Amino acid sequence: MISADAIRGYIDLMILSLLRGRDSYAYELAQQISAVTGDAYEIKQTTLYSAVKRLEASALVLSYPGTSASGKPRTYYRITDSGIAALAAKSDEWTRTKSVVDRFIDPNTTGAAS
């Protein structure tokens, strides 16, 4: 299981990435995160709700009321154009971050510590 501390800075990237594919509601996002990670990471509901509210306040996602297949009311989230731009920036940041950390882990990576 991956610790929440290790992934905390990339929750937004994960949510925006999922919403890039289709609109979704919070519980479904949590299920998708669990499925994509192969159950290696389970997001807490409070963490997820805080993240979507933060993304909404930043105008990276917008929420709207909807109804599930069973007829239950749900709040759905949709990525905005600003959210797509933020996703691209966060993805680039992740690539650079991973590259830096890999230099310490893999001695064959260019620039590795000796």
User: Domain segments of the chain: what residues?
Assistant: 4-84
25-51 tens-digit pLDDT? 999 999 999 999 998 999 999 999 999
Burial of 42 (0-12, 13-18, 19+ CB in 10 A): middle
Rounded to 5 degrees, what angle do the CA atoms 53, 58, 59 make?
Answer: 95
Per-residue DSSP letter, 38: T
Coil vs helix vs strand at 41: coil
Q: What is the dihedral of CA 92, 98, 101, 104, to 10 degrees?
A: -120
CATH code for the structural domain at 4-84: 1.10.10.10
pLDDT at 114 over 60: no
- Mean pLDDT value of segment 52-68: 96
- Mean pLDDT value of segment 50-63: 97
Output the pTM of the full model: 0.86
Residue 108, token pair as written in the block = 């064959």
